[in-house]
Amino acid sequence: VLEIKEACTVNGLDQECFVESVVERGDISLCESAGEAILEACKELYVKEGDDPSECEKEVVSEGGFLGVGVYSIKSSAIETCYQKIALAKKDKNICELINLTSIRSGCYLELAGEVGDTSLCDQIGEEIDLSMGGLKSECYGKVAVKKRDITICDNMEIENQGYYRCYTEAAIGMNNPT
**What CA–CA distances, in Å, run from 64 to 20, 94, 130?**
27, 24, 11
* pLDDT tens-digit series, residues 102-151: 878 888 999 999 999 999 999 998 776 655 455 788 889 999 999 999 99
Q: Are 38 and 20 a contacting pair, CB within 8 Å?
A: no
Least confident range from 64-73, 138-147, 158-167: namely 64-73
pTM of this prediction? 0.74
* Residue 152 pLDDT: 93
**Please, where are the H alpha helices in 49-116?**
74-90, 93-96, 102-116
* Residue 76 pLDDT: 81
* Residue 71 pLDDT: 56
Q: Are 153 and 141 a contacting pair, CB within 8 Å?
A: yes
* pLDDT tens-digit series, residues 9-24: 555 556 677 777 777 7
Predicted confidence band of residue 96 (pLDDT cuts 50, 70, 90): very high
Residues 6+ away with beta carbon under 8 Å from 53: 42, 43, 44, 46, 47
